[in-house]
Amino acid sequence: MAKRCGSMSNIQGHPCFGGNHHKNGRMHLAVAPRCNIKCGYCNRRHDCANESRPGVTSRLLTPGEAAAKVREVMASPAIGPLIKVVGIAGPGDPLHNEETFETFRLIGEEFPHLIKCLSTNGLLLPERMSLLEEIGLHSLTVTLNALDPRVGKRIYSHVCHDGAIHRGEAGAALLIANQLDGIRQAAKLGLTIKINTVLIPGVNDDEIPAISRKVRELGAFVMNIMPLIPQADFANLAPPTPERLDALRQENEKTIGQFKHCRQCRSDAVGLIGQDLPVAQPTQELLFTQ
């Protein structure tokens, strides 16, 4: 089994990894508009379901604007002292946007004490690992919804990689292989890893136990089973009931710790989880590119 990762002191400061989320806040920076895959539950207009409640990103920020926003928030006597983590979770896939790395570099220079956190679909993890090491990423979330490409092809309609579009089982197989390789490499690097799995009733329910075993074996720290928000290709599916979600989390708790207080925050959320600052900007359209 790979080394379990993450230093305990840092985890305790991170609200998404079991740190005290009544005291420790995070700040999301919406600097990553483009995505390289298409998940059936994503409607292409809103936040990445990697972390974020679909439908609400306020405004894309440039890296410079993101740094200015962090400066402003950190200078606020009410909010600044609460912020322990700066996260990039969208609205597209952070690893598919150079702005992500530029933003982390700027924040790291000015606020080296802030924990750097990122959420990704994992397609580019293996090839971006050295960059993540260079910027000093501490925690990583990978959204992993299937291990079997036959299930994956029902979730991902296409996967764009190296200038080619991969569809069906081939696309899903490529994505899954990179996700698993990326998680393995990230654990070796000592990153603290959370796995998000969107529970899509009738599609990937049966995969959940195998996913929890696999990611535990690879060195992930915690798993976050998230309920499907029906929209886009899955608009006609019923979301899982809270009872079903609870039962599944309990069943898999023995394999890997389950994160239970996720609120599926916006990708521009700032503050304590569940008590975010208000934002009032127009929604941006998500860009899908190769």
Residues that bind ligand SF4 (CB under 6 A): 15-16, 26, 28, 35, 37-39, 42, 48-51, 85, 87, 89, 92-93, 117-119, 121, 139, 141, 194, 262-265, 273, 286
Instruction: Kindly tell me which of 139 and 255 has the beta carbon lying closer to ligand SF4.
Output: 139
Cα 32 from chain centre? 12
Nearer to ligand SF4, 264 or 283 (CB): 264
Cβ 42 to ligand SF4, closest distance in Å?
A: 3
* Closer CB to ligand SF4, 133 or 233, in the complex: 233
What does the alpha-carbon distance between residue 20 and residue 2 come to, in Å, rounded to a whole number?
A: 27
**Quick one: 85 or 186, whose CB is closer to ligand SF4?**
85
Nearest CA among 195, 89, 211 for reference residue 141? 195
Specify the 3-state DSSP secondary structure of 194. strand
Our CB check for ligand SF4 shows the closer of 89 and 203 to be: 89
Cβ nearer to ligand SF4, comparing 85 with 176: 85
Q: In Å, what is the CA distance from 220 to each residue of 13, 105, 139, 183? A: 18, 25, 11, 7
Minimum gap (Å) between residue 218 Cβ and ligand SF4? 18
Please, what is the minimum distance in Å from the beta carbon of residue 83 to ligand SF4? 10
Instruction: Give the shortest CB-236-to-ligand SF4 separation in angstroms.
Output: 18
Q: Minimum Å distance from CB 197 to ligand SF4?
A: 13
Helix (H, G, I), strand (E, B) or coil at 8: helix
Separation CA 72–CA 80 (nearest Å): 8
CA 48 to chain centre: 8
**Residue 170 to residue 189: CA distance in whole angstroms:** 28
Residue 199 in tokens = 């529970």
- CB 130, min distance to ligand SF4, A: 20
Which is nearest to 116 in space by CA: 137, 98, 131? 137
Pairing of strands 275-276, 270-272: antiparallel
Closer residue to ligand SF4 in complex, CB, 117/151: 117
Nearer to ligand SF4, 67 or 86 (CB): 86
Instruction: Please state the closest distance from residue 52 (CB atom) to ligand SF4, in A.
Output: 6
Could you tell me which of 96, 41, 18 has the C-alpha nearest to residue 233? 41
Least Å distance between CB 180 and ligand SF4? 16
Helix residue ranges, H only, the chain: 8-12, 63-75, 98-110, 125-135, 149-155, 168-189, 208-218, 242-253
